Amino acid sequence: QKEVEQDPGPLSVPEGAIVSLNCTYSNSAFQYFMWYRQYSRKGPELLMYTYSSGNKEDGRFTAQVDKSSKYISLFIRDSQPSDSATYLCAMSQNYGGSQGNLIFGKGTKLSVKP
Amino acid sequence: GAVVSQHPSRVICKSGTSVKIECRSLDFQATTMFWYRQFPKQSLMLMATSNEGSKATYEQGVEKDKFLINHASLTLSTLTVTSAHPEDSSFYICSARKTGRNEQYFGPGTRLTVT
């Protein structure tokens, strides 16, 4: 079983839809959870950063962490064609050292159709 | 801000030559930088972790003599692909971690093509 599982998609939605992206993980020691967005041929961009369980909202984006289920989600409201990208989840155990290194999901490719 | 630059953005070289890629954190200090490789439609693959002033830590299967990493300052790490071959053609991305933090900020990537 891989440490982080993420459905690669592709996921295609109409403009304005609510998008739900998810990752599951196996290591209960993960405490820090991130979502990155990567446009084609570009480096990933940090979107959301959360610690432990709970929700975090930033504009149209909401990140949810359920540590009891080892499940994290990213919701995008009122999706736009400009949201079309690959979304990667990432997580780590701690700060610093090897435990601070991020473990990435494989990424979900999202396409928002106008 | 947290801006990371990479140079060059694109490079084409002949088989057997060496290529150096620079990664700079422009507005913060980064004790640790990371080098990733990404093949088309694949996820990021960590190659090595670079700590300022010390030797890099390479992931299993990555040849340290082929991919030379130097992290001489808190804002600069370099990756040199030595004696490049066509199979080294890939998208190389660096990231930097702010001192005392764990989120990583990525550079825009370098596309290497070896002919």
Quote the CA–CA distance of A63 and A29 in Å, as a whole number. 19
Minimum Cα–Cα distance from B36: chain A residue: A43
B34 part of contact set with chain A, CB < 8 Å: yes
Label residue A1 by pLDDT band (50, 70, 90). low
B42 part of contact set with chain A, CB < 8 Å: yes
pLDDT number for residue A101:
83
Is the pLDDT confidence value at A75 over 80?
yes
Best of B103, B106, B111, B113 to mutate (most A CBs within 10 Å, chain A)? B103
The residue with greater pLDDT, B88 or A98, is: B88
Average pLDDT over residues A51-67: 94
pLDDT number for residue A2:
75
E strand spans, chain A: 4-5, 11-14, 19-25, 32-38, 45-51, 54-58, 61-66, 71-76, 85-92, 103-104, 108-113
Interface of B with A in 61-90 (CB under 8 A): none
C-alpha Rg value of chain A to the nearest Å? 14
The residue with greater pLDDT, B55 or A76, is: A76
B109 part of contact set with chain A, CB < 8 Å: yes
Minimum Cα–Cα distance from A103: chain B residue: B46
Q: Cα distance from B40 to chain A (closest Cα, Å)? A: 9
The answer to whether the Cβ–Cβ distance between B109 and A88 falls below 8 Å is: no
Q: Which residues of A touch B103 (CB under 8 A)?
A: 32, 34, 46, 49
pLDDT number for residue B103:
85
pLDDT number for residue B99:
80
Quote the CA–CA distance of A13 and A113 in Å, as a whole number. 6
**Per residue of chain B (115 residues), what is the pLDDT tens digit?**
799 999 999 999 999 999 999 999 999 999 899 999 998 878 889 999 998 888 899 999 999 999 999 998 999 999 999 999 999 999 999 999 988 788 899 999 999 999 9
Minimum Cα–Cα distance from A95: chain B residue: B102
Nearest beta carbon to residue A34 from set B4, B103, B109: B103
